[in-house]
Amino acid sequence: TICQALKNVSIGDHLLTVPVRNVSLKSIKSGHAKKATTEYRVLSKNEDLNCALLEIQVDKLRHHQLQVHLGQKMCKILGDHLYSSRVRCILGTDVTANPLEVTPRTQ
């Protein structure tokens, strides 16, 4: 289960969704940030291709929620070129890429 609040920000010509750390009740009530929960289960995986098939369940789907939540777990969605360059946390360890500073890539 991934529980991480999300907010939308404009970066260049793109409206992107980013995770919110230390979300406050005030920011949730004002609509600045929205609670988001993604539950997932690995159905199968292929070690040779380094990929997995996931079953995903959400209560209420937020804008780009799956890309952001799975990207935080270093599990990019195949074909996602907008968010795949924005991974900032690998196995709970912060990496140097700040999602607010990394330019999105488009296909």
The whole-number pLDDT of residue 21 equals 81
Domain that holds residue 11: 2-96
102 has pLDDT over 50 = yes
CA-to-CA distance for 31 and 24, rounded, in angstroms? 11
Total domains in the fold of the chain = 1
Whether residue 28 lies inside any domain: the answer is yes
Q: Is residue 105 predicted with pLDDT exceeding 60?
A: no
Task: Give pLDDT, residue 90.
Answer: 52
103 lies in a domain?
Answer: no
Q: Is the pLDDT of residue 85 over 60?
A: no
Task: Examine residue 87 and state whether it is found in any structural domain, yes or no.
Answer: yes
Q: What DSSP letter does each residue of 66-81 carry, written as one string? A: HHHHHHHTT-PPTT-T
The verdict on residue 105 lying in a domain is no
Is the residue at 107 inside a domain?
Answer: no
pLDDT in tens, 1-14: 999 899 988 877 77
Q: Is residue 102 part of a domain?
A: no
Is 76 inside any structural domain? Answer: yes
